[in-house]
């Protein structure tokens, strides 16, 4: 029996999340099994600590859905882009593959694009299986 | 019988620098010796484990325990000291957050033994002998404690009352802690006995630090002669003062070396390495960040090898991930 992947998608409160809510009248944003959407006040607020926390709590992959580069009110997406690229490199040294961390940029209206990206990400992560994170009881 | 409070010092996976820090108290140590009875201190005094075992539970007022925990013997000793002590203070970076020995959590026992006893050029070992917990030599059994795959902080093994951070803890904080214990004037259990600020708040270079710093190229400390007046970040040298607790007396900064985080996470930082990474990445190429492609950012980052080892230099065992899964 294959397990559903566990995926966290951080969505910006000022663009894609409202879009997702509007479009979700007949479709739950969490309709893909194992995918949780978390609203964030700015993609700049999605710190490397939060991403690591997601992995520690069992996420197989983490996706960031922020505003397109020139649409962010706070320049948070520029900072987060650099942090995520560095985080990928650091986590690779822990054995967590860079492909498990994805970031993409969406305007409010681009719900279809987001859903497509999430679907592709889920497929990729399902193929990869769970992330290599040690659980407390496994520490020898 | 002396009625002075009994004090013990013990060491685990550590370098000896914490013992040195106690000796570095100089004349102040005389005050300490005057006020307490040191009942156990393997590096300096000849008391044995059996002497500790013979004591009543809770008889030792305070045990200062340094070093990370990575063998069965270390666990046995700290469990014994925990039982016999009213207070346990995790003394120094290794006991507090894992320290340099904690970097071994990027490997495991097998990889470490292989490197240390087989492939390292300075150790001739033609028979490939590795440490074993039990060996028979001439009908006698010789034993060694089990070496763990994972290095742990003291509070991951026993209950800890207070933390004295630093590699090694500076004399003023040690004396403050000893005085607070003797006067029974201690803060809430679990407190780190050091200032709450982060290092940048107390750093002498922060005054001249510009409001906005943009790192155009990362440098390693040996690549340039750092200006002793400037914030290291201005020169592109990674300094972890933003994510690290203050209290060290800026010893590295004053020796013109950047902070590597030995005092552990600043208040409200969960993962010191991730926080440091975040702070450095944010100011990387800040001036023209809109124009940078992902490849440009990678190129900027790739100037520094082993970023995980740098950001988690002292805190890997206490980080959210705790180790690499092998
Ligand atoms: S980054 Fe380092 S040099 Fe700069 S102010 Fe902070 S501690 Fe001082």
For residue range B6-64, list pLDDT tens digits in order. Answer: 999 999 999 999 999 988 887 888 888 888 999 999 999 999 999 999 999 999 999 99
| Phi-psi domain of B52 (left: phi exceeds 0; alpha: psi -120 through 50; beta: other) | alpha
B66 in a structural domain: yes
pLDDT band at A106 (very low <50, low <70, confident <90, very high): confident
Say if residue A27's pLDDT is above 60: no
Whole domain around residue B206: which residue ranges?
A: 199-318
Same domain for B174 and B238, yes or no, is no
Q: How far is the CA of B230 from the centre of ligand 1 (A)?
A: 9
Same domain for B159 and B207, yes or no, is no
ipTM attached to this prediction: 0.93
Same domain for B170 and B277, yes or no, is no
Return the pLDDT at B52. Answer: 98
Number of domains in chain B: 2
Same domain for B154 and B247, yes or no, is no
Same domain for B277 and B221, yes or no, is yes
Return the pLDDT at A34. Answer: 85
Same domain for B160 and B214, yes or no, is no
B232 in a structural domain: yes
Interface test with B, best of A47, A49, A98 (most B CBs within 10 A): A49
Task: State which ligand 1 atom lies nearest to the alpha carbon of B206.
Answer: 5
Look up the CATH number of the domain holding residue B165.
3.40.50.700
In this structure, the strands spanning A35-40 and A7-12 are parallel
Position with higher pLDDT, A26 vs B221: B221
- In 3D space, the residue among B17, B42, B8 whose CA is nearest the CA of residue B251 turns out to be B17
Q: What token pair was written down for B8? A: 């013990």
Same domain for B176 and B232, yes or no, is no
B128 in a structural domain: no
Same domain for B176 and B252, yes or no, is no
Among A86, A95, A134, the residue with its CB nearest the CB of B281 is: A86
Say if residue A16's pLDDT is above 80: no
Pocket test for ligand 1, best of B252, B253, B260, B283 (most atoms within 8 A of CB): B253
d(CA B99, CA B85): 24
For ligand 1, atom 4: residue with the closest CA: B231
Among A81, A85, A93, the residue with its CB nearest the CB of B106 is: A93
DSSP B56: P
Query: Is the CB of B322 less than 8 angstroms away from the CB of A86?
Result: no
B102: Cβ contacts below 8 Å, ≥ 6 apart: B68, B94, B151, B153, B312, B314, B315, B316, B317, B318
Same domain for B175 and B312, yes or no, is no
Task: Calculate the alpha carbon distances from B253 to A34, B151, B223, B250, B261 in Å.
Answer: 47, 28, 17, 5, 12
Size of interface A-B (CB pairs under 8 A): 103
pTM, two decimal places: 0.94
Return the pLDDT at B206. Answer: 94
B245 in a structural domain: yes
Same domain for B157 and B21, yes or no, is yes
Same domain for B259 and B222, yes or no, is yes
- B123: closest CA of chain A, how far (Å): 27
B17 in a structural domain: yes
Per residue in B222-232, is it b (16+ CB within 10 Å) or e — as a string? eeeebeeeebb
Residues with CB under 6 A from ligand 1: B 199-200, 203, 205-206, 209, 231-233, 239, 241, 253, 258-259
Does the CB of B287 have a partner CB in chain A at under 8 Å? no
B84 in a structural domain: yes
Return the pLDDT at A1. Answer: 45
Spell out which residues of chain A touch residue B281, defining contact as CB-CB under 8 Å.
79, 82-83, 85-87
Show the CA angle centred on residue A7, arms to residues A6 and A13, nearest 5°: 145
Return the pLDDT at A133. Answer: 94
For ligand 1, atom 6: residue with the closest CA: B200
Does the CB of B274 have a partner CB in chain A at under 8 Å? yes
pLDDT digits (tens, 9 = 90+) for A60-103: 999 998 888 777 777 778 889 999 999 999 999 999 999 999 99
B260 in a structural domain: yes
Same domain for B293 and B215, yes or no, is yes
pLDDT band at A25 (very low <50, low <70, confident <90, very high): very low
Task: State which ligand 1 atom lies nearest to the alpha carbon of B230.
Answer: 3
B142 in a structural domain: no
pLDDT under 50: residue ranges of chain B: none
Collapsing DSSP to helix, strand or coil, B135 comes out as strand
Does the CB of B110 have a partner CB in chain A at under 8 Å? no
């Amino acid at each position: 029996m294959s397990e559903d992947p566990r995926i966290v998608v951080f969505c910006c409160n000022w663009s894609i999340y409202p879009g997702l809510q509007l479009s979700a009248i007949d479709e739950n944003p969490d309709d893909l099994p194992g995918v949780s959407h978390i609203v964030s006040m700015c993609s700049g607020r999605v710190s490397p600590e939060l991403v690591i926390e997601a992995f520690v709590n069992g996420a197989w992959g983490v996706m960031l859905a922020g505003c397109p580069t020139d649409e962010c009110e706070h320049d948070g997406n520029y900072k987060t882009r650099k942090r995520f690229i560095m985080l990928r490199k650091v986590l690779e040294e822990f054995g967590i593959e860079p492909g498990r961390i994805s970031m993409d940029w969406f305007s409010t209206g681009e719900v279809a694009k987001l859903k497509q990206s999430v679907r592709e990400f889920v497929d990729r992560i399902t193929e990869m299986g769970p992330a290599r994170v040690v659980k407390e009881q496994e520490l020898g | 019988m002396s009625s002075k409070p009994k004090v013990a010092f013990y060491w685990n996976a550590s370098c000896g620098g914490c013992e040195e820090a106690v000796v570095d108290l100089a004349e102040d140590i005389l005050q300490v010796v005057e006020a307490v009875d040191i009942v156990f201190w393997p590096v300096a005094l000849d008391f044995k484990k059996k002497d500790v075992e013979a004591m009543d539970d809770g008889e030792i007022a305070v045990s200062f325990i340094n070093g990370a925990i990575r063998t069965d013997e270390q666990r046995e000793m700290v469990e014994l000291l925990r039982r016999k002590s009213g207070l346990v203070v995790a003394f120094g970076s290794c006991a507090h957050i894992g320290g340099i020995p904690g970097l071994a959590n990027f490997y495991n026992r097998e990889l470490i033994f292989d490197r240390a006893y087989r492939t390292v050029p300075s150790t001739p070992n033609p028979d490939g002998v590795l440490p074993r917990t039990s060996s028979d030599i001439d009908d006698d059994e010789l034993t060694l404690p089990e070496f763990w795959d994972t290095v742990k902080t003291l509070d991951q093994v026993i209950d800890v009352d207070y933390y004295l951070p630093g590699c090694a803890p500076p004399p003023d904080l040690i004396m403050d802690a000893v005085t607070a214990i003797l006067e029974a004037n201690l803060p809430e259990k679990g407190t780190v006995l050091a200032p709450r600020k982060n290092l940048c708040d107390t750093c002498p270079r922060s005054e001249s630090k510009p409001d906005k710093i943009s790192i155009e190229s990362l440098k390693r400390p040996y690549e340039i002669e750092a200006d002793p007046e400037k914030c290291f970040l201005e020169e592109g040298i990674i300094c972890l003062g933003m994510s690290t607790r203050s209290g060290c007396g800026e010893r590295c900064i004053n020796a013109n070396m950047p902070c590597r985080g030995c005092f552990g996470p600043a208040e409200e930082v969960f993962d010191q390495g991730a926080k440091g990474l975040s702070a450095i990445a944010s100011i990387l190429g800040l001036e023209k960040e809109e124009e940078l492609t992902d490849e440009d950012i990678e190129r900027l980052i790739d100037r520094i090898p082993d970023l995980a080892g740098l950001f988690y230099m002292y805190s890997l065992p206490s980080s959210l991930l705790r180790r690499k899964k092998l």
